[in-house]
Amino acid sequence: MKNNLFISCEIHSKAEKISDILRKICNQIQEKNFDMTKYSSQITDVGIIVNCYPDDYLLAGFGKPRKYISYQKGSADIRLPVPYIEFRNADEKTRYLMIVKNIVESVKVIQERCLKSKRAEFDGNLLISDILEKLEIDSSALENISGVLQKMPE
């Protein structure tokens, strides 16, 4: 089966724990065997790249958010930054939940863009539900978790 879901990261070296967390998440959700056609017949290739850089790197242009969907190619490339300081200061469980929240928020971006454009149907709610089920996480565990940097530094 083709790999239709790709989850990776672009991070500062001091946020290296993200790679370990993503490896665990990808194994649990069986990323290499994930079939996106269950969620959309139009958007079948989804890339989620978790970014995590300190403010000075963000100001220099690293880790900028990206919310790109190609309806013609049926692909999405979403890159949302994780709050660097919060991530570094968090305990292991919170770090894990921050990365899960980032993935969930990335899926929501795809769903919102598809709804707004009306050029593709995408069941992000089902995808989120399936991911959380495979990770054995209740959605309420993510309610007070900051997985996406709310404002870029100036």
**pLDDT at residue 1 tops 50:** no
Per-residue model confidence as pLDDT tens digits over 34-52: 889 999 999 999 999 999 9
Mean pLDDT of all residues in 115-138: 96
- Tokens of residue 25, six digits: 């998440």
Give domain status of residue 151, yes or no.
Answer: no
Print the domain residue range for 108.
Answer: 5-142
Asked if residue 47 lies in contact with residue 77, where contact means CB atoms within 8 angstroms, the answer is yes
21-106-38 Cα angle (round to 5): 95
Q: What is the pLDDT of residue 151?
A: 84
Instruction: Check whether 31 has a pLDDT greater than 50.
Output: yes
The answer to whether position 108 is within a domain reads yes
d(CA 76, CA 57): 25
pLDDT in tens, 133-152: 999 999 999 999 999 998 87
Looking at the domain assignment, is residue 148 inside a domain? Answer: no
Task: Tell me the DSSP string of 77-119.
Answer: EEEEE--HHHHHHS-HHHHHHHHHHHHHHHHHHHHHHHHHH-S
The 8-class DSSP code of residue 15 comes to G
- Say if 149 falls within a structural domain: no
Q: What is the pTM of this model?
A: 0.94
Q: How far is it, in rounded angstroms, from Cα 70 to Cα 54?
A: 29
User: Predicted confidence band at 32 (pLDDT cuts at 50, 70, 90)?
Assistant: confident
Total domain count for the chain? 1
pLDDT of residue 154: 79
Average pLDDT over residues 99-127: 97
**CA distances (Å), origin 125, targets 34, 72, 141, 146:** 16, 23, 16, 19
Measured at the CA of 40, the angle between CA 36 and CA 41, to 5 degrees, comes to: 100
152 lies in a domain? no
Q: Is residue 43 part of a domain?
A: yes
Identify the band that residue 2 occupies on the pLDDT scale cut at 50, 70 and 90: low
Residue 27 lies in a domain: yes
Under the banding of pLDDT at 50, 70 and 90, the label for residue 15 is confident
Cα-based distances in Å from 92 to 6, 40, 61, 122: 23, 34, 28, 32
Read off the pLDDT of residues 72-101 as tens digits, 9 standing for 90 and up.
999 999 999 999 999 999 999 999 999 999
Residue 30 lies in a domain: yes
